[in-house]
Structure 1
């Protein structure tokens, strides 16, 4: 059973890395596309804000998966050192998630209107 849970934890970790990399790559491609549109005079600041929000959501999702993976690892190896490392990791990742989520909400509320490109 431990082998299955350990494998599951590793799969979740790799999935989280894939999610973060996918979101970053997608955001980068959209950003480059939007920047290149400056040459056609169709640049959109609102689109840049939307890209930032989308990348933030991928980062949040990836962080949540990483926390789940760390929890599974600690359940499998419950030493005091591992618990301390998990506590520190969860606190840091939760704080990152909290502040990133607040920033995304703030950006979404104060979105640049389409007519102010």
Structure 2
């Protein structure tokens, strides 16, 4: 087993972890949203709870993005092809912008 095959497995594991974190966050947010919506009759309290849920979901999304970016960086080091590096650059820019705006939204809603 060479280093490239080991790194590819690590990259795959990191990608799977990121997906699991994202799915876990969505499931938790959906569960608590449903639970709160069915229990709460007060619209102001419901709105506050939804804002909290959005912040929690955004934190899961941000964590997932950070793991995916780390995975992409490792992949570009393992396979330094110009096409892969350009794709990585584009993905990092897009994910960084999304992360920045999600983080800004979380900070503004606190």
TM-score, scaled relative to structure 2? 0.92
2:82 matched residue in structure 1: 80
2:70 matched residue in structure 1: 68
Residues 39-77 of structure 1 deviation map (CA, whole Å, 9 limit, x = unaligned): xx3662221111111000000000000001111111111
Q: For 1:2 and 1:59, locate their aligned partners in 2 and report how far apart those are by CA, in whole Å.
A: 29
**Structure 1 residue 26, shift from structure 2 partner:** 0.3
Residues 1-54 of structure 1 deviation map (CA, whole Å, 9 limit, x = unaligned): 11111111110000000000000110011001111013xx36622211111110
1:14-93 alignment, distance < 5 Å = 14-38=16-40, 41=41, 44=45, 45-93=47-95
2:105 matched residue in structure 1: 103
Q: How many corresponding residue pairs?
A: 106
Give 4+ residue runs of structure 1 displaced > 3 Å after superposition: none
Q: For 2:89 and 2:22, locate their aligned partners in 1 and report how far apart those are by CA, in whole Å.
A: 22
| 5+ residue gaps, structure 1 | 109-117
Q: For 1:53 and 1:106, locate their aligned partners in 2 and report how far apart those are by CA, in whole Å.
A: 10
